[in-house]
Amino acid sequence: MLKISKDLEEHLQGTLGESVFHQPVRDLMAAIADQFETDGMLSTVNRMASYGDERSKVLLAALASEAVVDKILGAFMPLYQPLRRTNIYLKIQMLEALALVPKHLTDAADLIRDVRNQFAHKLTVEKLSDIDNSSRGNVVVKMQQYCVRLGIKSKARLHDRTFIFETIAEIATTGLWTYLPLVRDLNSAVRDQSLEKQLRLQAERRLSEQAEAILAHVQAPAPLANRDALEGEGPGGTL
């Protein structure tokens, strides 16, 4: 059974109105846990946590995060398939553009992608401590800033690269996953024929109201001042 830690649960909520969903539904947690285990993600996350080798841990976290992003995109877009030419960066951008979940969750996935690139593109990087902390747009600084936004204030924690990475990885995997049932429900609701009928009736009602307003404006008598001016004019102009 997937365990949602108290700290993680506090980090899952977004701001009302900034995304379609801003918090997971509490009574869905058990169902989410079952689905998480069924789809094999639980074992992936457990392996991620148990790895002593940080390179493997980072690569596994990136794979798990991408799998969750794929799940959410697929839940909302029936014809979506993780195409070979669609990399994780584009997938995250797509999910962010849809604004289905709080942005800080997709930000977490993007940070995991960024850390993964440090390991994948630089063979000298074997541990999180090997990442250069002086380069422009440094990912370590980004992770620290992200954790500060979460409310983590301890300097010791913020300078513990393993801690901040694992915190963000949990949000980018388990955290994102908690929104999956809501996105699936949204997809079902959007494609329900009753919704299409309701929207069509609303559109027809709005069109009718607009037509009536235009007709009323056309048929309205001219203002008194305009009528006096018109009545004072003859065929040859002003009398």
Per-residue pLDDT of the chain (239 residues; tens, 9 = 90+): 345 566 677 788 899 999 999 998 765 666 666 777 767 776 777 777 676 788 888 999 999 999 999 999 999 998 888 766 789 999 999 999 999 999 999 999 999 999 999 998 888 888 999 998 766 668 999 999 999 999 998 999 999 999 999 999 999 998 899 899 899 999 999 888 888 888 889 898 998 888 888 888 888 776 665 655 555 555 555 54
Cα–Cα–Cα angle for 194, 100, 72, nearest 5°?
90
CA distance 66 to 193: 32
CA distance 6 to 77: 31
Residue with tokens 């380069």: 135
Q: Residue 234 — φ and ψ, nearest 5°? A: -105, -170
Number of C-beta neighbours around residue 72 at 10 A? 25
pLDDT at 10: 77
pLDDT at 145: 94
Number of C-beta neighbours around residue 93 at 10 A? 13
The full set of domain ranges for the chain reads: 6-190, 193-222
CA distance 211 to 172: 50
pLDDT at 239: 45
For residue 80, give both structure tokens.
């979506």
pLDDT at 198: 87
